[in-house]
């Protein structure tokens, strides 16, 4: 059975990376090393998550002009509100391997599992190259329109988008992007989770669109 972590991502929406600096300048958004925190953004029917771009909600924030309404390509209200700024010199995160993706032939990929808003948004930023049979699994808990980018991620990655325990799309050998603007990656369909591996690992392991992806949580050691 496909596991469902207790973490439920907040209501979010994606914004093209190239728009972030301009939005920050004219709307008072807080941009933290590429992480734009935008309180007051209403959700759309198809939620959208952008890796390293997390949008949170706030009931007390006043609206801003309609020209700033950008969310998932359709528009949604954006509002200003003070937010906390974490330390800019945060080290990369190394999370425990809590899940595995076992492949035909007996090999298993050990997967780090981010939990909570900060771990989701930080992902593999500033991390050295992942070893063979190691990755990170972003489980959204329900079908979601996902957009990932490579801002502050120094090593190329393979991104595998998963729905109904099958790989539905692969973004192979995505390029590092240490400075904005950065390209966003992801299919135009809903997915339930995303696995990030070192660049070239999808091909080396025989993974392709249609491959089974029966990811399971590991039993505690």
* 140-152: average pLDDT: 95
Q: What is the distance between the alpha carbons of residues 8 and 217, in angstroms, rounded to a whole number?
A: 16
**At a CB cut-off of 8 Å and minimum separation 6, what does 86 contact?**
32, 118
Neighbours of 172 (CB within 10 A): 18
pLDDT at 32 over 70: no
The average confidence (pLDDT) of the chain is 72
Q: What is the distance between the alpha carbons of residues 171 and 186, in angstroms, rounded to a whole number?
A: 7
pLDDT value of position 163:
98
Q: What is the distance between the alpha carbons of residues 131 and 138, in angstroms, rounded to a whole number?
A: 18
pLDDT value of position 123:
96
Distances (CA, A) of 186 to 2, 30, 85, 169, 189: 21, 25, 28, 8, 8
The domains of the chain, with CATH numbers, are: 97-217 (2.60.120.1140)
pLDDT value of position 98:
97
Q: Are 209 and 172 in contact (CB under 8 A)?
A: no
Least confident residue range of 19-23, 63-67, 139-143, 150-154: 63-67
Q: What is the distance between the alpha carbons of residues 3 and 199, in angstroms, rounded to a whole number?
A: 26
Residue range 35-70, pLDDT digits in tens:
333 333 333 333 444 454 433 333 333 332 222 222
Whole-structure pTM value: 0.65
pLDDT at 8 over 50: no
């Amino acid at each position: 059975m496909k596991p469902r972590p207790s973490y439920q991502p907040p209501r979010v929406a994606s914004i093209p990376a190239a728009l972030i600096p301009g939005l920050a300048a004219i709307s008072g958004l807080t941009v933290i090393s590429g992480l734009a925190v935008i309180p007051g953004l209403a959700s759309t029917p198809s939620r959208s998550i952008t890796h390293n771009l997390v949008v949170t909600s706030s009931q007390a924030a006043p609206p801003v002009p309609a020209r700033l309404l950008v969310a998932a390509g359709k528009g949604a209200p954006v509002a200003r509100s003070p937010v906390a700024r974490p330390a800019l010199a945060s080290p990369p995160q190394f999370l425990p391997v809590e899940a595995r993706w076992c492949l035909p032939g007996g090999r298993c990929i050990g997967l780090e599992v981010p939990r909570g808003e900060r771990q989701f948004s930080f992902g593999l930023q500033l991390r050295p190259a992942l070893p063979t049979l190691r990755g990170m699994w972003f489980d959204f808990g329900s079908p979601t329109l996902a957009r990932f980018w490579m801002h502050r991620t120094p090593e190329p990655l393979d991104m595998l988008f998963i729905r109904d325990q099958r790989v539905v799309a692969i973004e192979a050998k995505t390029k590092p992007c240490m400075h904005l603007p950065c390209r966003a990656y992801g299919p135009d369909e809903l997915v339930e989770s995303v696995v990030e591996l070192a660049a070239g690992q999808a091909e080396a392991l025989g993974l392709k669109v249609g491959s089974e992806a029966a990811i399971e949580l590991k039993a505690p050691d």
